[in-house]
Copies of this chain bind each other. A is one copy, B any other.
Amino acid sequence: MSNVLEDIAAVAAAGEERRAANAIRALAMDAVEKAKSGHPGMPMGMADVATVLFKEVMTFDASAPDWPNRDRFVLSAGHGSMLLYALLYLLGYPGVVIEDLKSFRQFGAKTPGHPEYGHTIGVETTTGPLGQGLATAVGFAIAERLQAARFSDDLVDHRTYVLAGDGCLMEGVSHEAIDLAGHLRLGRLIVLWDDNGISIDGPTTLSTSTDQLARFSASGWHVQRVDGHAPQEIAAALAAAQQDARPSLIACRSVIGYGAPGKQGKESVHGAPLGETEIELARAELGWPYAPFEVPEEVLADWRAAGARGREARLAWEQRLAASPKRAEFETFLSGDIASEIAAPLAALRAKFASEMPKIATRKSSETTLAVVNEATSRTIGGSADLTHSNFTITKGLGSVTAEDFSGRYIHYGVREHGMAAAMNGVALHGGFVPYGGTFLVFSDYARGAMRLSALMNQRVVYVMTHDSIGLGEDGPTHQPIEHLASLRAMPNLNVFRPADAIETAECWEIALTTRRTPSVLSLSRQNLATLERPISENLSARGAYVLREPSSGRQVTLIATGSEVEIALAAADLLWTRGVRAAVVSMPCWELFEAQSAAYRNRVLGSTPRVAVEAASRFGWDRWLGDRGEFVGMSGFGASAPAGTLYRHFGVTAENVAAAAETLLRA
């Protein structure tokens, strides 16, 4: 008899679970239909998985979306955004109401086409470009362990869940992410793969034959396969995943667009509204006789209860925090404030540079600066894409982060520029830490997908990009950036710094580390550069550009340069002086900051005389600063393999050519 009752209870529970999932399905198809665009397929296909995850497994409190120890959820298949928005509404996230779902994909709504961090509460990271969510989640999982190593597992022990699609697993960045995650044994990372066998072009058999379970297993992951529409299987797999010390992949075999009888299982359900007729059929199929956007009270109440399920855990955590001797430290850590820690040491370093006037590469003065920074604060997390001793990104005592020990502060990201950038996004988003990572500037090409998300998400991530011109010499054109400065300067909300000497390097680092809502690129030289004579009372780099040399009797021409070419501009000014021409020299370490100055300041710096700019890179973009009488000395094509000095001469990036350009302009 008790068995019968249990069976009845189980059936009722299953029915409740199914109705909870159908609420997601209905909201997704209704919102996409109303918006006349969007992706119903994934939310409908993965609704059962999401229901188990959010109603039974994840630890979170919808009323406290900023709880530091909440489990993170990353919708790597970001086009399925209605899954997430439906959940946020159903679970009762503050301020997410049914009207938000009705304005899906409309201007200013909380429900944009793809989830946007900082725009919608409960969205942990911006996703949409495939693979990024998965790779960013690796950063979350790393940050969680880094925090735990500092503040104990008592305060930090959450999990990171990812919902990824076929596309996420096809993208190259997925390889970089899972290799790194397996290597670091990120056991609290659990990936739910929407294994629906459909991509936009049609069945995935059009383009892939990879056995994903074997692939993840090869990288040290725990792997399982479940029926994505069988709640008990899903729950059991999640429990097993939680128990395993390795990161976990759960392949959820699902039917895309589940519940839409005429379209489910086909690519046509992926990214377009179902249409009124099909929606009617789906309502019948799902046993969901409600009006569009209507969720029956008991279903909503059930979901809201799930949203409050983690309240006790959260309150208990808050008590643990209150009682912890690390409380103050933890709160300071989460504040993200680094400025007060590094200001004095960096001021001292600038004074030291000004006094000692070293002639060293800016990648080297960057190392010296990092040594000071990393000593002054514990929140920097360094790393390199396997170019540590070329980028000079490691400093004494940082310690390597390993699977066994997360107390270190240096991550060997491997030859994985893209994965590194995405992981740094995750580390930054997770809070408290300031990640920086190195590679050659030319390989920013590999990392742009994630760099753009740093900018779009307003994250303080610092890209240390050395070997920043033909000055790297013999490695040749594949390694010599030409267009990279321009292509990065073109990106919104990214500060591109190209310091000219040790002092500017320290200055630019300080700006990069203290600019909270903008990522930075530090473009650094391989070759040695003399320290420039200039005042250090002010961080002049913060102005973006400044007059480094002004002829006392007034300028006739202005020479503008960045980074390693500032010394060429100075030499050109010397040359011009011997020929009776008075040239001012402007160092311009950061275009973006200079653009933000007042017009009066900009005009004062640039002057009204003819201008010559010199940069060992593409001219592209320089016309912005050349005025109506300007010339540019730099590169007009790819580089070549030869010693740096030979290349500068061959390509004409010389003081003589700068001086000649100035004289030509003055004669004109």
Residues of A within 8 A of B (CB): 35, 37-38, 78-79, 105-109, 112-114, 116, 126-130, 166-167, 170-176, 179-180, 182-183, 199-202, 204, 206-212, 214-215, 217-220, 384, 386-390, 400, 412-416, 418-419, 442-443, 445-446, 448-449, 452-453, 455-456, 473-479, 482-483, 486-493, 618, 620-621, 623-624, 626-628, 635-638, 640-643, 646-647, 650
Contacts and interface: CB of A to CB of B under 8 A. Distances in A.
A386 B201 contact: yes
A220 B215 CA distance: 11
A525 to B, nearest CB: 16
B214 A218 contact: yes
A203 B175 CA distance: 20
A110 to B, nearest CB: 10
B128 A388 contact: no
B113 A479 contact: yes
A38 B642 CA distance: 11
A180 to B, nearest CB: 7
Name the residue in A37, A112, A487 with the highest tally of chain B Cβ atoms < 10 Å from its Cβ.
A487
Contacts of A204: 414
- CB-CB nearest 4 A-B residue pairs: A172-B172, A112-B641, A207-B414, A487-B487
A442 B210 CA distance: 27
12 contacts: A37-B473, A107-B641, A128-B475, A129-B442, A170-B176, A172-B418, A179-B209, A204-B414, A212-B218, A214-B214, A445-B449, A482-B492
A640 B218 CA distance: 40
Nearest to A619: B624
B477 A172 contact: no
B412 A207 contact: yes
A419 B478 contact: no
Contacts of A79: 475
A212 B638 CA distance: 35
A647 B107 CA distance: 8
A455 to B, nearest CB: 8
A493 B635 CA distance: 13
A268 to B, nearest CB: 10
A638 B214 CA distance: 39
Contacts of A207: 180, 183, 386, 412-416
Contact of A107 (B479, B491, B642): B642
A206 B386 CA distance: 9
A182 to B, nearest CB: 6
Nearest to A494: B483
A487 B477 contact: no
B113 A171 contact: no
Contacts of A650: 107
A204 B642 CA distance: 30
B201 A210 contact: no
Contact of A210 (B218, B626, B640): B218
Contact of A486 (B128, B490, B626): B490
A129 B446 contact: yes
A472 to B, nearest CB: 9
Contacts of A646: 106-107
B114 A641 contact: yes
Given A114-B641, A621-B490, A642-B106, A170 B415 contact: yes
Contact of A201 (B38, B116, B384): B384
A58 B438 CA distance: 39
B479 A200 contact: no
Name the residue in A443, A453, A486 with the highest tally of chain B Cβ atoms < 10 Å from its Cβ.
A486
B170 A172 contact: no
B474 A113 contact: yes
Contacts of A640: 107-108, 112
Contacts of A219: 209-211, 215
A478 B78 contact: yes
A414 B209 CA distance: 11
Contacts of A449: 443, 445-446
A477 B113 CA distance: 9
A476 B114 contact: yes
Contacts of A210: 179, 182-183, 218-220
Contacts of A174: 172, 175
Contacts of A214: 214, 217-218
Contacts of A414: 170, 199, 204, 206-208
B218 A211 contact: yes
Contacts of A478: 78, 114, 116, 126-129, 453, 456
A89 to B, nearest CB: 17
A173 B171 CA distance: 8
A200 B386 contact: yes
Name the residue in A174, A217, A474, A488 with the highest tally of chain B Cβ atoms < 10 Å from its Cβ.
A474
Nearest to A625: B623
